Amino acid sequence: MSEQGQNKDLELLTFRVADQEYSLDIMSVREIRGWTRTTPMPHAPDYMRGVINLRGTVLPVMDLARRLNLPSQETNERNVIIVVKLGGTLTGLLVDAVSDIVAITEDDLQPPPDISSDPQMSVVRSLTVIDDQMIRVLDLAAVVPVSSEEAA
Amino acid sequence: MSLKVLAVDDSRTMRDMIRMALMPAGFDVHLAEDGVHGIEVLDGLTPDAIITDINMPRMDGFGFIDAVREQEQHRATPILVLTTESAPELKMRAREAGATGWIVKPFDPAKLVKALQMVAG
Amino acid sequence: MSDQNDPMAEIRASFFIECEELMEALQDGLQELEDGSEDPETINVVFRAVHSIKGGAGAFGLEALVRFAHRYETVLDEVRNGSLHPDSDAMKLFFLAADHLSDLIRGCRDESEIDEATSDELLTRLDALLGEDSVSEEVEPETFEVQGVSLDLDLDLGEEPDDSATVYTVRFKPEQDLFATGNEPSMLLRNLCDLGEATVRCNFADLPSLQDLAPETPYVEWIVELKTEAAEPEIRDIFEFVDGLCELEIIGGAAPATLDTSGPAEAPSAEEALPPPATGTADLISDDAAPAESTSAKVVPMGAKPAPPEASKDGEGERKANTTAAKSVVRVDLERIERLVNLVGELVINQAMLSQSLDEAGLSPHSDAMNGLEEFQRLTRDIQDSVMMIRAQPVKSLFQRMSRIVRESSAAVEKEVRLVTIGEATEVDKTVIERLADPLTHMIRNAVDHGLEATEKRQELGKPRAGTVTLTAAHRSGRVIIEVADDGGGINRKRVHEIAVTKGLVPAEAQLSDGEIDNLLFLPGFSTAKQVSNLSGRGVGMDVVKTSIQSLGGRITINSEPGKGTTFSISLPLTLAVLDGMVVNVANETLVLPLNVVVETLSLGKDDVQMLRPGHYVVRWRGGFVPLYDLGVMLGYRHHRQTDPGSIVLLIVLEDGSRAALVIDGIQDQRQVVIKGLDDSFYRAPGIAAATILGDGQIALILDPADVISGMGHIRGTDLMLSERKIANE
């Protein structure tokens, strides 16, 4: 679909968190599940929603809004859990709703403005504009904490 | 054009060794755990050569060779006896039973391949 | 692991697994022999086990193992052929040799140090059984060569051009027996031709006229002119298998003995001279088969050769044929089983979800759907049981290891001890078996060392000289019970109490029941041995045994009768994949506690709860006080303690003996749950050991009570016991 040859094509899954559009490289997305009740983990950080049963294995679910310090909405039937894989570990990301899958090229991406004080931006890898709307491309490795970090 | 070989040995390790020695050399390897099992496998298989251990439960190598030679279609099938004993009397007993030749364990895979090629082409 | 793709490493690993099986067969066989088995197959099994170990060890160049197995086998062979009748001392030696063989196998497997001194000592003793002649023979270098092999199948063994080609004339005349052995002249000639340039002539001089022809008699001979770099021994090697089955003459010039292995060489000129591959001798004399270069076909009738020798008639094959068939076994990767176990876990959950929704749909219990569901539930249960049993294996291997422990430990303390094993076929999860070895070893040593009286003492008491240690395994109500019993003097409760007091483990004035005294043995830091013997000492006490049993989800109890002996009973779950759990409600969450920590459930009475200091409460229990915690608060599910009268409280006892009372909202159920690990989660919650999936598909967390409580700064261990006692005595 791209004529620019050397530029890599990229497919993004876009979704809505606290009325803002975010996206992830679709290669890291394993599946999308409807909302189910999570089992809370004791003394967990507030963005840790709990765990759910993903076909017989225990999947930790993170509330992406809380992780991004956005106002957390009441969960409802339309909420979905995006199951992502990072370094062999599956994690669920609770978002408001999934919007679309869009194909872009690396050229369409812009680096985010350097606002290091903004904790939200530290997990945004780049920005892109689709249909006049700004979409934030998340850096998954920055979103999902490594287990050893958190265990300490 | 791969040669079909039936190997009979009660030791899993030996069976594995034989399989690993012969498969890369292009042999079609069939395995059996003892003489009785070997006879069962032979029902429906016409190997180009047979390798057998001597010390085995249920039916030992001598009994197995006897039983093979009794079957018309296997009368001329080369049978190599695989044995740790290099004692001449064992070779003679194997031969009396109808064995074609022998390989002394532990065998060198290349030698096993060569011996098979010598007796079975 | 890097060597996963190395076929030799794989076979090597498989060899050591096979060795374990062979050692088991060896131990069994020796035991049967000692019990007076007359079955000739018994010694055959024993011999074959050692023989197979030697065979495999040879292939991997495990010299120490081969050396020992070879000479052990030599002695066993003497027993097998009837020239050696082992007495009880010899049997003892055979057992020792088997034990040592087992050590050597392990040493080779782990590439750890090999105890050559013991090898030498045992071999000397084994050799002594053979008598004078054999001993001197055994001093000779082994006839059995150790030769490690690799699977490097490079058949082109450096073929260097050499001008030292020599011309040989090989005359080869097969005899009739050659054909009976499946040897084939055409093959032999072809192999010969492969050595160099060959001209093959066939001599039909002996061929009789057609009417005199005996179909199975070979009449022809071949004369091969071979120009080769190979030396005469190499030529002879080709005829190794037919040595004595043919006339063979090799006339060669001044052959320089180049002994390097020359590879197969081209010999195109000889191809047409070969007789066609034949399945019977008759073909060889057909016209078509007559090689072009055949010379002077002078037909001279020959007397018929004797018929092929009758097949070996010793009947050994038949004799063995009627012994039991080997159990057919498939080797499966443990990972695949784990996956199956997981899938079945899902199936169970799915089934529960399905029945719940059918229930909610309000179907009649007599409807087809409900009947079908019932059948589905039954099948699911059966599948679950069967899958769990895949990981199960008989405790026999474990018991055999224990018989060795008895032999060694009884020798060390100079007691005569008989080990009786019952229920060896009882199956337990593989991991459980592996993890039971250490605690059981310790218990056996304890029984031999402390449990049984000294031999003289036993005689004084009119007991049999030899003490008996009984090792029992059985399935009882979904659990495995393993018992170690001795017929010794029983626990000396007075002394145990004294020691516990001396060591400050219990207050001197405490009045303890017999059972309580017996349980003091499990306290950390308790050891009854006056001096630490080199047996059960080593700083390991029964507390460690108890901890390891508990880590397997098991319980251990003591039953001792003065003068009659002591029995330790271990009760274990069938598998580690499931847990006997108590399913409880706390703050609208469902949690699972391991059932083995729950001693009692109580309903709080009005005056049961007392404040120790602000925020710290105790509950009155059996005249003592136990710290009280609200599980919901501890887990952060709620902020306010609910200790109202009528609240439900679980009394738990932890591995270290400490107790705690946990307030919960309600008990749902007691049942087995499938354990799901939380290892992959990025968040590790304190106090949570694992998770399970409930019938409604929801996840319930499995608590680690010790971990939950340790975070609460409670009074642990014996302190608690003391405080309880003190309060009780007030």
- Which pLDDT value is given to residue C323? 39
Res. C357 pLDDT band, cuts 50 70 90: confident
Q: pLDDT, tens digit, for every residue of C395-411? A: 888 998 898 889 888 88
Closest by CA position to A25, among listed A124, A144, A129, A138? A138
| A53: chain C residues, CB-CB within 8 Å | 349, 693, 697-699
Q: How many domains does chain A have?
A: 1
Nearest by CB to C685, from A41, A57, A145: name it: A41
Chain C positions contacting chain A at CB under 8 Å are 342-343, 345-346, 349, 589-590, 634-637, 676-678, 680-688, 691, 693, 697-701
Domain-embedded: residue C52: yes
C548 and C619 in a single domain? The answer is no
Look at residue C470 in the predicted model and tell me its pLDDT.
95
Residue A28: CATH number of its domain: 2.40.50.180
Q: How confident is the model at residue B86 (pLDDT cuts 50, 70, 90)?
A: low
Q: Which residues 46-85 of B are in CB contact (within 8 Å) with C?
A: 55-60, 62-67, 69-70, 75-79, 84
Handedness of CA C445, C449, C452, C454 (dihedral sign): positive
List of chains touching C (3+ CB pairs within 8 A): A, B
Cα–Cα distance between C161 and C260 in angstroms, integer?
11
Specify if A1 maps to a domain.
no
Token representation of residue C710: 């340790």
- Say what the pLDDT of residue C556 is: 87
CB contact under 8 Å between B55 and C54, yes or no, is no
Tokens of C647: 């609240």
Q: Which residue has the higher pLDDT, C255 or A40?
A: A40
Q: How confident is the model over A129-143, as a mean pLDDT?
A: 87
Q: ipTM score of the complex?
A: 0.84
* pLDDT attached to residue C679: 62
Domain check: are C255 and C340 in the same one?
no
Q: Which residues of C touch B96 (CB under 8 A)?
A: 309, 311-312
Report which of B20, B26, B28, B34 is spatially closest to residue B46, judged by C-alpha positions: B28
One domain for residues C448 and C541: yes
The residue ranking higher by pLDDT, C456 or C707, is C456
pLDDT > 70: percent of chain A: 85
Residue C64, pLDDT score: 87
Comparison of pLDDT for C294 and C61, the residue scoring more: C61
Report yes or no: A52 at the C interface, CB cutoff 8 Å: yes
- Low-confidence winner among A46-50, C149-153, C282-286 (lowest mean pLDDT): C282-286
- CA angle, B98 as apex, B96 and B103 as ends, to 5°? 95
Residues of chain B contacting C241 with CB distance shorter than 8 Å: 100-102, 119
Mean pLDDT of C245-261: 61
What range does the domain containing A121 cover? 9-145
Residue A151 lies in a domain: no
pLDDT of C728 above 50: no
* C515 in the same domain as C624: no
DSSP-derived pairing of the beta strands A57-63 and A80-86:
unpaired
pLDDT in tens, C194-224: 878 888 888 777 777 777 777 667 778 888 8
Say which of C143, C147, C177 has its CB closest to residue B86. Answer: C143
pLDDT at position A150 is 39
C121 & C105 share domain? yes
Q: What is the DSSP string of C214-274?
A: -TT----EEEEEEEESS-HHHHHHHTGGGTTSEEEEEEESS-----S-------GGGGGGS
The H helix count followed by the E strand count for chain A is 3, 10
Give the phi and the psi of residue B8 in degrees, each rounded to 5: -115, 115
Give pLDDT, residue C657.
Answer: 66
**Which chain C residue is nearest to residue A37, measuring alpha carbons?**
C698
The stretch C415-430 carries a mean pLDDT of: 88
pLDDT band for A23, please (50, 70, 90 cuts). Answer: very high
Q: Give a yes or no: residue A152 inside a domain.
A: no
Please, which pLDDT band fits residue C327 given cuts at 50, 70 and 90? low
Q: pLDDT grade, residue C271 (50/70/90)?
A: very low
Let me know if residue C299 belongs to a domain.
Answer: no
Looking at the partner chain, which of C56, C187, C190 has a beta carbon nearest the beta carbon of B14? C56
pLDDT tens readout for residues C442-453: 899 889 988 899
Residue C717 pLDDT greater than 50, yes or no: no
Q: Looking at beta carbons, which residues of chain C come within 8 Å of A63? A: none
Predicted pLDDT at C325 = 42
Residue C708: name the closest of C584, C549, C625 by CA.
Answer: C584
Q: What is the pLDDT of residues C498-534, one digit of tens each?
A: 888 888 888 888 788 888 888 888 887 776 554 444 4
Q: Which residues in chain C have Cβ-Cβ distances shorter than 8 Å to A37? A: 698
**Residue C158 above 60 pLDDT?**
no
Would you call A119 an interface residue with chain C, using a CB distance cutoff of 8 Å? no
| Disruptive mutation site among B6, B19, B84 for chain C (greatest number of C CBs within 10 Å) | B84
- Between CA C640 and CA C683 the distance in angstroms is 25
Asked if residue C303 is part of any domain, the answer here is: no
Inter-chain contact C342–A56, Cβ cutoff 8 Å?
yes
Within C387-520, strands assigned E span 392-394, 417-422, 427-429, 467-476, 479-486
Q: Which CATH class is domain B4-120?
A: alpha beta
Q: Which residues of C touch A34 (CB under 8 A)?
A: none
- Chain position carrying tokens 């770099």: C229
- Number of other residues whose CB lies within 10 A of the CB of residue A119: 11
Q: Has residue C156 got a pLDDT over 90? A: no
Asked if residue A116 has pLDDT above 80, the reply is no
Whole-Å CA distances, B79 to B20, B75, C584:
19, 10, 69
Same domain, residue pair C379 and C416: no
**Closest Cα in chain A, distance from residue C260 (Å):** 54
Q: Is residue C138 over pLDDT 60? A: no
pLDDT tens per residue across span C546-563? 878 877 777 888 999 998
Residue A110 domain flag: yes
| SS3 assignment, position C166 | strand
pLDDT at C124 over 70: yes
Q: Hey, is the C-beta of A142 within 8 angstroms of any chain C C-beta?
A: no
Would you call C688 and A41 a contact, using CB atoms and an 8 Å cutoff? yes
Count other C-beta atoms under 10 Å from residue B97's C-beta. Answer: 29
Pair C584, C720 in one domain:
yes
> Using one digit for the tens of pLDDT, what is the confidence trace for C458-504?
999 999 999 999 999 988 766 788 999 999 989 888 888 888 888 88
pLDDT of C437 > 50? The answer is: yes
- For residue A116, is it within any domain? yes
Q: Does C14 touch chain B (CB under 8 A)?
A: yes
Average pLDDT of chain C is 75
Record: contact B55-C182, CB cut-off 8 A: no
- Within-domain flag for C310: no
- % of chain C exceeding 70 in pLDDT: 76
Whether A42 and C346 lie within 8 Å, measured CB to CB? no
pLDDT of residue A115: 60
Range of the domain at C62: 2-139
Cβ under 8 Å to B: C residues 248-277: 277
Q: Which of C17-26, C280-289, C354-363 has the lowest mean pLDDT?
A: C280-289
Structural domain ending residue among the three candidates C123, C139, C155? C139
Q: Which of C440, C360, C359 is nearest to C401 (CA)?
A: C440
A150 within domain boundaries: no
Report yes or no: B96 at the C interface, CB cutoff 8 Å.
yes
- Residue C650 covered by a domain: yes
Query: In angstroms, how far is the first alpha carbon of chain C from the final one?
Result: 63
Residue B99 binned pLDDT confidence (cut-offs 50, 70, 90) = confident
Distance from CA of A102 to the nearest CA of C (A): 29
Answer whether residue A21 is part of any domain.
yes
> Which pLDDT does position C272 carry in this prediction?
42
Cβ–Cβ of C677/A58 closer than 8 Å? yes
Q: What would the pLDDT profile of C579-619 be if each residue is shown by its tens digit?
A: 778 999 998 899 999 887 888 888 887 777 888 777 788 88
Identify whether residues C58 and C189 lie together within a single domain.
Answer: no
Band (pLDDT 50/70/90 cuts) for residue C289 is: very low
Predicted confidence (pLDDT) per residue in C664-716, tens digit: 999 988 877 777 777 656 677 778 888 888 877 789 999 888 777 766 543 33
Residue C655 has what pLDDT?
Answer: 58
**Does C84 map to a domain?**
yes
Chain C residues in contact with A36 by the CB 8 A cut-off are 697
What's the rounded Cα separation, in Å, for the pair C244 and B14?
A: 30
Q: Which pLDDT score, from 0 to 100, does residue C484 have?
A: 94
Query: A39 with C635: CB under 8 angstroms?
Result: no
Q: Which range has the worst mean pLDDT, A131-140, C281-290, C590-599, C663-672? A: C281-290
State mean pLDDT over C48-75. 87
Average pLDDT for residues A83-101, to the nearest whole number?
Answer: 89
Spatial separation of the C-alpha atoms in residues A134 and C641, rounded to whole Å:
49
**What residue ranges do the domains of chain B occupy?**
4-120
Q: Which two tokens stand for residue C557?
A: 């109890």
Domains of chain C: total: 5
| Residue C445's CATH number | 3.30.565.10
Separation of alpha carbons C199 and C185, rounded Å: 15
Considering only the beta carbons, identify the residue of C346, C686, C698 that sits closest to A55.
C346
Output the pLDDT for position A39. Answer: 92
B80 or C166, higher pLDDT:
B80
* CB atoms closer than 10 angstroms to residue C86: 19
| Listed range (C210-214, C288-292, C649-653) with the worst mean pLDDT | C288-292
Considering the domain architecture, whether residues C376 and C416 belong to the same structural domain is answered as no
| Span B27-78, pLDDT tens digits | 899 999 989 999 989 888 889 999 998 888 888 888 899 889 888 888 888 9
